[in-house]
Structure 1
């Protein structure tokens, strides 16, 4: 049984980490969040210590180090994006390996900094890249790998996940903290595209606003037109008022169906990490480089390589 700490216990994704810790037979020793809306802990790990001040959390973790049986083995991080880097560093310096949500950090330079701290502490950082464990994604990857090597697939990725007015009032609506909508809701899709289609060769941005973004990515094995949005007005007319989310990945005329199968992917990710097969800094680099370019790129005039929704926005 491994001892875990959880930073960001009141966040949306934190319960998946709590359940993954429990379902893999491990112990959530201590949790931290500046907010105290963490009653979910009672149904998963009611004996866990909990702190709302980071200094008290850190001091408690240091005290645990004095007893090898109680010392932290892992620190899981679900805090806001802009806090990932300092929280990862703190976890490593507590003598624990770290499991962190996406995006790991906003820039490749901060990945390099984390690599230095890994070397200094002898501990590892693992990124939750759960789509790499999804059955439909793995089947598509195999299909692409067995296609003729000169085949380049045409992909249209559309992801609209409606968010209310609260979103812009939260840290997620502040690009200094979330690093923008393409990073916050899209980073795992860019990792998925790299995982399936290989190295990125071209990265063009056609539209960028606080609630949506669009562009073109060309990989070794695919040409991808993408559109991401949190604006309900972008939903297709036939699902407006019926569903808050629309996810479509069209691959050379065929739809990739992966609306199901997400329930246990965090637990699968934890099992792989605990078995020594987790995804580390090198695995996260490609999607971090991709979103870093998207955030800083100049907007290009939309042409034939633009997502169909872009023309509708500009009309």
Structure 2
């Protein structure tokens, strides 16, 4: 039987993937909410869905729907700005729905502890979109590493993570460019990569930041079974020239012991896979989110040390020796 969904943050960049996932899993979007009303994308997905630009009217609709219908709203999907996630998850749970929330789930580990209490109070559940755990190439890497670590539990891998996704000047005027709202570069574009690495190679044991500017974060992790040099940026200038020549504005690379892990494709369907996983009794809850949220919260608090120690080579694009 089709499930009823609501969506908070219907006008955002990632919202169409949630709409697509709801539709492709055979479910119904009953209502959506966003302060911004430019969401023509609704017409090609759920044109009959109710829509509100005011939170009070949205909440009123949720209550009225629950009273007047045999089929309640079972899931509320959340694609709002990062700093609002905790409040919107709380609203979902207290409305009697499970929450499906974009990454980063929240900005601080203490927020997860609070949401655990609300889960117990309401009997409802929080699911986090950790889509890389469902990517075929990443699953294959985890299976390979798990097998190798069974044979050699002390093995340490050498990893370079590089992710550049160009953004224009608008980015820094939006909530995404405000650290207190987005959590900063590491939270906004890096948190799911950190989750994926810790899922495969173990928890963070050492965390160092080399670069911290408004458009770039870079640093070093020691995980249980890997060392990681990472570089994240929204600055187009740092993209390798050979990539720019192809007219591409995004560069994504993960090397493990010098070998490139190919995972450039297969991203557009991962939200649908995430929804299928949840609806089939799986999904990634609060406990799975804790490690990566703790990591980005720590990065936010650390001072950048510059070109010292084992830093990512791209750091020299930002800092002079």
**Separation (CA, whole Å) in 1 of partners of 2:154 and 2:66:** 54
Show structure 1 runs of 4+ deviating over 4 A.
none
**Separation (CA, whole Å) in 2 of partners of 1:255 and 1:204:** 24
Residue in structure 1 matched with residue 98 of structure 2 by the alignment: 97
Greater CA deviation, 249-258 or 63-72?
63-72
Alpha-carbon displacement from aligned partner over 1:102-131 (angstroms, at most 9, x marks no partner): 011111101011111111111100000000
Give the CA deviation at 1:301: 4.4
Three-state SS of the structure 1 residue aligned to 2:21 is: helix
Three-state SS of the structure 2 residue aligned to 1:117 is: helix
Residue in structure 2 matched with residue 180 of structure 1 by the alignment: 184
Normalised to the residue count of structure 2, the TM-score between the two structures is 0.96
Give the CA deviation at 1:310: 1.5
- Asked if structure 1 preserves the Cα contact closer than 8 Å seen for 2:108 and 2:294, the reply is yes
Three-state SS of the structure 1 residue aligned to 2:145 is: helix
Give the CA deviation at 1:275: 1.3
**Matching of residue 293 in structure 1 with residue 294 in structure 2:** no
Residue in structure 1 matched with residue 163 of structure 2 by the alignment: 159
- Name the count of aligned residue pairs: 315
1:258 to 234, 243, 263: 263
**Separation (CA, whole Å) in 2 of partners of 1:10 and 1:253:** 40
Three-state SS of the structure 1 residue aligned to 2:103 is: coil
Normalised to the residue count of structure 1, the TM-score between the two structures is 0.98
Listed as ranges, the gaps of 5+ residues in structure 1 are: none
**Separation (CA, whole Å) in 1 of partners of 2:208 and 2:269:** 34
1:243 to 228, 244, 248: 248
Residue in structure 2 matched with residue 272 of structure 1 by the alignment: 277
**Separation (CA, whole Å) in 2 of partners of 1:210 and 1:228:** 11
Alpha-carbon displacement from aligned partner over 1:190-223 (angstroms, at most 9, x marks no partner): 0011111112111111110110010001111111
Listed as ranges, the gaps of 5+ residues in structure 2 are: none
**Separation (CA, whole Å) in 2 of partners of 1:199 and 1:172:** 27
Residue in structure 1 matched with residue 201 of structure 2 by the alignment: 197
Give the root-mean-square deviation of aligned CA atoms.
1.0
Three-state SS of the structure 2 residue aligned to 1:156 is: strand
**Separation (CA, whole Å) in 1 of partners of 2:131 and 2:220:** 23
**Separation (CA, whole Å) in 1 of partners of 2:304 and 2:261:** 29
**Separation (CA, whole Å) in 1 of partners of 2:50 and 2:317:** 51
**Matching of residue 106 in structure 1 with residue 107 in structure 2:** yes
